[in-house]
Amino acid sequence: MNKTKHKIAVVTGAGGTLCSEMARDLARQGYKVALLGRSIDKLKVVEDEINAAGGEAISISADVSGEASVRAANELVMKTWGPVTVLINGAGGNQNDALTNTVEFDERELEGDPAVKGFFNLNMQTFQSVIDINTMGTVIPCYVFGREMARNKHGNIINFASMTSYRPITKVAAYAMAKGGIVNFTQWLAAYLAPANIRVNAIAPGFFLNDRSRKIMFHEDGSQTERAVNIMRQTPIKRFGDAHELLGCMNWLIDDKNAGFVTGITIPVDGGFLSSPGV
């Protein structure tokens, strides 16, 4: 507790399955945790859990892809506790209108057939919004909270990459494009901020279940969809990940003693997905 009592963490996307678990774990270690996200109701659930367990947390409604919104969040954190020392950039996600329902070009998409949603009849505004939340929604918090870290010559940033950072997984072009950029940006920012004693790394989760993905991976009767079957075929451990299985990676990366020479890397936590070529 003495080691961490002056440490302050910001977790974006903290109302979600993965980042809420990260936030709770940081609080258990004595971090004061600012929970950022669009849905204040979801954040409040996590905040109440942390505070009831003896930790300290505040919920801040913020659009991480908007600079003014993130600046306002930083001002509140600074006023409440002081400068941030750990930033977890977990906000992101996808939208159904940015997904195709086919894995290759189909002539019917040019004819406006409602049964075929291909690349050529996607909504480009939605496509752009997915890129914004997953790219600028990482860049802007780094820009705002990282400024205070640089001023204090200390900090740790963890970005969220994805399996799509390595492979352009079918149907999710916008999301894959954005997450591919996160790996590159993490490397760039790590080199840039090294003189300020700030380490920047990323975690690339494999396939973890949340409320949205359960609808994609399972039928109403509990059986796996074709997409889930394909994922399991590519995942040697043969199951989906659990949120707590990201904590060891997070805690290692923010540990200046054990990972002080580690910056600019992206670590897959994927059950072996990237190791399996599928043949």
Residue 31 is a catalytic residue: no
Contacts of 210 (CB under 8 A, 6+ apart): 16, 17, 18
Q: By percentage, how much of the chain surpasses pLDDT 70?
A: 98
What pLDDT does 209 receive?
A: 85
pLDDT in tens, 186-234: 999 999 999 999 999 999 999 998 877 788 888 888 888 889 999 999 9
Catalytic residue, from 143, 166, 175, 192: name it.
175
Strands (E), 165-217: 198-205
Q: Which domains does the chain have, with CATH numbers?
A: 8-95+131-208+243-274 (3.40.50.720)
In DSSP notation, 124-158 reads HHHHHHHHIIIIIHHHHHHHHHHHHHHHHT-EEEE
**Residue 71 gets which letter from DSSP?**
H
What pLDDT does 120 receive?
A: 95
Instruction: Reply yes or no on whether the pLDDT at 4 is more than 70.
Output: no
pLDDT in tens, 50-74: 999 999 999 999 999 999 999 999 9
Q: By percentage, how much of the chain surpasses pLDDT 90?
A: 87
Instruction: Reply yes or no on whether the pLDDT at 35 is more than 80.
Output: yes
Mean pLDDT computed over 241-251: 97
Task: Give the CA distances from residue 117 to residues 113, 173, 234, in Å, rounded to whole numbers and listed in that order.
Answer: 8, 13, 25
Instruction: Reply yes or no on whether the pLDDT at 3 is more than 80.
Output: no
Rg (CA), the chain: 19
Nearest to 135 by CA among 112, 113, 164, 155: 164
Instruction: Reply yes or no on whether the pLDDT at 119 is more than 60.
Output: yes
pLDDT averaged over every residue in the chain: 94
Q: Are 206 and 273 in contact (CB under 8 A)?
A: yes
